[in-house]
Structure 1
Amino acid sequence: MSRIDLRTVDLKAINSMTKYPSIPTYHSLDPRNGGLREECVEFTGPVTLTEKVDGTNGRIVVLPDGSYLIGSREELLYARGDLIGNPALGIVDALRPVAETLTRVAEDERITVYYLEVYGGKVTGASRNYTGSRQVGHRLFDVAELDDPATLLGWPAERIAAWRDGGGQRFLPEDDLLSRATALGLAPAPRLDTVAAADLPREVEKMSAYLADRAPRTLVALDGPAGPSEGIVLRSADRSVIAKARFQDYERTLRRRAARR
């Protein structure tokens, strides 16, 4: 088994290959004004709806030898054994106990990346929707397995970024993701429903009403009354298609349309 030595490895490459890719909005965004257009992402078969939690993306990168890194969406913040970690948004404090439970000496050479939404505390302006006492929580929303990291580490930065943005990361499909979460004792993002793709609203106005019906309040409040949710994430069963639908996008778009009438 190849060993990845954190003292000598190219951490910029590790950071790039484990970043979470951007998720498109279910209805496409108009680049001119940020409003939603009527074109939407095409799904087939069953579609899983999960709550979109309003926090910040964190990741735990578990290396083949059981060491780990903790990062935000854009940068690595901490490596196992660091005396001082980057305190950005409380991600390290929230995820370090989780990371310690995930480490192991692997029997293969892959890198496994756990993506968790860290929320509450002072993470975002929406934290009050989840806690009145600044508690911090986290929910697992994706897991990626990088099967040949040694090869990736030999690529130039531009090639790694193109590979990632082109869908090169292998994410666990829905059933495997839930099984992994159960086995590790990690709470996943709340599952709201599984629906047929043909039953998804295609019009912006109807999708706005659909959000209000499916996800009016958060299901992951840490204390006190539950505030509004941010929206939903839609995923095909094999995770080949994924999109997000946020209340704020639909509310902004419909306000603008009403103002023009």
Structure 2
Amino acid sequence: MYSPTPPDWREANRSRWDERVPIHVAGEYYDLDAFRSGKDVLRDFEVAEVGDVTGRTLLHLQCHIGLDTLCWARRGAAHVVGLDFSEPAVETARGLAASLGLGPDRAAFVAADVYDAAEAVPDSSYDIVYTGVGALNWLPDTTRWAETAASLVAPGGFLYLAEFHPLTDVLDDATGSRIVNDYFTRDAWIDQAPGTYADLDAATVHNRSVQWQHPIGEVVSALIAAGLRLDFLHEHDVSLFERFGPLKRHDDGYYRFPADRPRIPLMYSLRASKA
């Protein structure tokens, strides 16, 4: 259901995420035992496009429980900082870092709203500002996000974003072949679905969420207006979950449409640099 942005959107979303942290910690989806044993959860195209992070500083905005953040530390980043608005998520991330022997000098986590990141994080700039998948849809204002993120990129550094393609938000869930929603709407999407993507059957109480779709043109234009230079924009024909009925999981862990069906972009990634 689309509607104007409700005044309690942040509180509703925070309550939803706070409640789901222990479900994610205990479940098989994130498999924290495997992660502690060395499993790398970063997507292969992210690793290739970000490149070598050895000796670099990295800020991860909207980091949830910090798995992606800590993987960058494992890959050699000199110092990583994860930021999320959920206190339980940040406490979990700190515990994971400690269990891996990564102290605050290597991996620090901050509980704050992403729009307040410039005041909340320990350093004024980072070589890499990273945002992983499933983050922008929780924010109403990409202009403010881009300005905040760009202000934290060090000269010579870059912002890297990987996201689900907004085209997927306008297609029907059953087949992914019919347009059923407005691509250009700026209204909020209000959802009341229980459970979580990590456990659809989980018993939950805080089920109301407020989300937005952001066309790629809006995101790119916001970053350019914030003073960054677009290095590349890549579209990917894979997804991380069964977004549409026909998608099938392959051995590499990605979901794809059958070979006899025309492909559409399911994810995208971009890098934008600061001179």
Q: TM-score, normalised by structure 1?
A: 0.27
Bigger Rg over Cα: 1
Structure showing the higher strand proportion among its residues: 1
Q: Which structure has more RCO (C-alpha within 8 Å, separation ≥ 6)?
A: 1
